[in-house]
Amino acid sequence: MEMATFSVSSATIIKDSLSRTSLLSTKNRKPLLPLSLCLTLKASNSTLTVASMSYDKQLAAAKNAASLAARLCQKVQKVLLQADVQSKSDKSPVTVADYGSQAVVSVVLQKELGSASFSLVAEEDSGDLRKKEGKETLRRIIELVNETLASDGTYGNAPLFEEDVLAAIDSGRSEGGPSGQHWVLDPIDGTKGFLRGDQYAIALGLLDEGKVVLGVLACPNLPLASLASHNPQDDQEKVGCLFYAQVGSGTYMQSLDGSAPIKVHVTDLDNPEEASFFESFEAAHSLHDLSSLIAKKLGVRAPPVRIDSQAKYGALSRGDGAIYLRFPHKGYREKIWDHAAGYLVVAEAGGVVSDAAGNPLDFSKGRYLDLHEGIIVTNQKLMPALLKAVKDSLNEKASSL
Ligand SMILES: Nc1ncnc2c1ncn2[C@@H]1O[C@H](COP(=O)(O)OS(=O)(=O)O)[C@@H](OP(=O)(O)O)[C@H]1O
Ligand SMILES: [Mg+2]
Ligand SMILES: [Mg+2]
Ligand SMILES: [Mg+2]
């Protein structure tokens, strides 16, 4: 890990509404860094020197890994969408893409950063692929992974064999936790969207001492222009976004084919009546009735925008919508790979992500998030009103049972 030092003439330590401490430049009130990531604070000659972690090298590797995995997924989705109806009901393409994407990310990260202390918390494992029925799927995955790595020119000199690919997939069995560094990966988030030809994301985050410090979201089908001006009829529309954020450095978006990055921000809207909100496409993943009640209490006029996957976090980080509501059915436990990357992409763009009670998300507890009820996301200005609407709606729902 590298260290970056920077100096400011005057700084204040602040605590925000979610009890996060940050170092704030007194001169322009710009947040400099979460305090947990400042290593030394030295004051001399009225200048404060701050040494902080820099994750530039990990970020470059993560962007490469997610972009290459996206290339693999796009290839599979293209074939899938051209297939006839009968073979579309066969779920194996998504399986091949899920495993293939996980293998590519694991291989690229280890080639770039070394494998000595590599730890990955990821959705898939090779259990089914090691069974006799998994052999044909495994053969297709190995082929696809090798083709994808070779297409980059950097990684493809020596082809990977069966055991290499299985090991790469299984490197994702880490339990994560509060100490050390752990990569967090959803190789395809929004598998249902992937099958429909809609939105999905390759979501890669990095935890350091239990905090998310990097977030990369590759969204191959997300339009580069705002969803607010999206025209589904326009087949010339440019799609394929890569969002990335490093803690303390803001959020950027570039096209998956490598345009210059632009800094993005959440909306600065403060009137909920003008806000639009995102929710899961799949009613099985989030209670649409509850979101609609919350939106009504807030006075939101626009209908919900339903899209799959963490593409919702990406879209929100650039102000396409103002609110994301996620209320899974009772008993569902959220996994860290469904939120880690998206969380940082939104937080670094100025947004707030919390559970339904306003508590910050805790990614340090292993593979699952312990949450109160659901996840809500919006900007700083709208959060107080949103929290109230959520509380009132949950009470109303409870008393009607
Ligand atoms: N029952 C239930 N409740 C809540 N959430 C669930 C549920 N089942 C699955 N999942 C997770 O939802 C992930 C897909 O993200 P979204 O819900 O945002 O997208 S979608 O619109 O529903 O496709 C999806 O991620 P992937 O499995 O990576 O696609 C799941 O982790
Ligand atoms: Mg997921
Ligand atoms: Mg997934
Ligand atoms: Mg899944």
Give the nearest ligand 1 atom to 189 CA.
28
Q: Burial, 46: exposed, middle or buried (Cβ in 10 Å; 0-12, 13-18, 19+)?
A: exposed
Which residue has the least CA distance to atom 14 on ligand 1?
190
What ipTM was assigned to the predicted interfaces of this complex? Answer: 0.94
The CATH classification number of 56-263 equals 3.30.540.10
Report CA torsion sign: 276, 282, 283, 287.
negative
Mutate to test the pocket of ligand 1, among 309, 339, 346 (most ligand atoms within 8 A of CB): 309
| Cα–Cα distance measured from residue 70 to residue 49, given in angstroms and rounded to the nearest whole number | 40
Residue 225: count of CB within 10 angstroms of its CB: 16
Which residue has the least CA distance to atom 20 on ligand 1?
308
Give the nearest ligand 1 atom to 193 CA.
23
How close is the Cα of 190 to the center of ligand 1, in Å? Answer: 6
Mutate to test the pocket of ligand 1, among 94, 99, 196, 282 (most ligand atoms within 8 A of CB): 282
The ranges assigned to domains in the chain are: 2-54, 56-263, 272-399
Ligand whose nearest atom lies closest to the CA of 195: 1
Residue 235: count of CB within 10 angstroms of its CB: 6
Q: Per the annotation, where are the binding residues? A: 123, 186, 188-189, 338
Residue 51: enclosing H or E segment and its boundaries?
Answer: strand 47-54
Contacts of range 383-391, beta carbons closer than 8 Å, 24 or more positions apart: 383/17, 383/352, 383/354, 383/358, 384/17, 385/272, 385/298, 386/272, 386/294, 386/298, 386/323, 387/354, 387/358, 389/272, 389/294, 389/297, 389/298, 390/294, 390/356, 391/356, 391/357
In a 3-state reduction of DSSP, which class is residue 75?
A: helix
Ligand whose nearest atom lies closest to the CA of 101: 3
How close is the Cα of 270 to the center of ligand 2, in Å? Answer: 30
The ligand 1 site (C-beta within 6 Å) comprises 123, 186, 188-193, 280-282, 284-286, 308-309, 328-329, 332, 335, 338
Amino acid identity, position 262? I
Q: Per the annotation, where are the binding residues for Mg(2+)? A: 123, 186, 188-189, 338
Q: Measure Cα distances from 64 to 67, 218, 239, 290 in Å.
A: 5, 10, 18, 39
- CATH fold group of domain 272-399: D-Maltodextrin-Binding Protein; domain 2 (3.40.190)
Give the nearest ligand 1 atom to 123 CA.
28
How close is the Cα of 376 to the center of ligand 2, in Å? Answer: 17
Per-residue pLDDT of the chain (401 residues; tens, 9 = 90+): 455 555 555 566 655 544 455 565 555 555 555 555 555 555 666 666 666 679 999 999 999 999 999 999 999 999 888 876 555 556 666 789 999 999 999 999 999 999 999 999 999 999 999 999 999 999 999 999 999 999 998 886 789 999 999 999 999 999 999 999 999 999 999 999 999 999 999 999 999 999 999 999 999 999 999 998 877 778 888 999 999 999 999 999 999 999 999 999 999 999 999 999 999 999 999 999 999 999 999 999 999 999 999 999 999 999 999 999 999 999 999 999 999 999 999 999 999 999 999 999 999 999 999 898 999 999 999 999 999 999 999 999 999 87
User: pTM of the full predicted structure?
Assistant: 0.89
Give the nearest ligand 1 atom to 284 CA.
1
How close is the Cα of 201 to the center of ligand 3, in Å? Answer: 9
Active-site residue list: 98, 191
Calculate Rg over the CA atoms of the chain.
Answer: 21
How close is the Cα of 203 to the center of ligand 2, in Å? Answer: 8
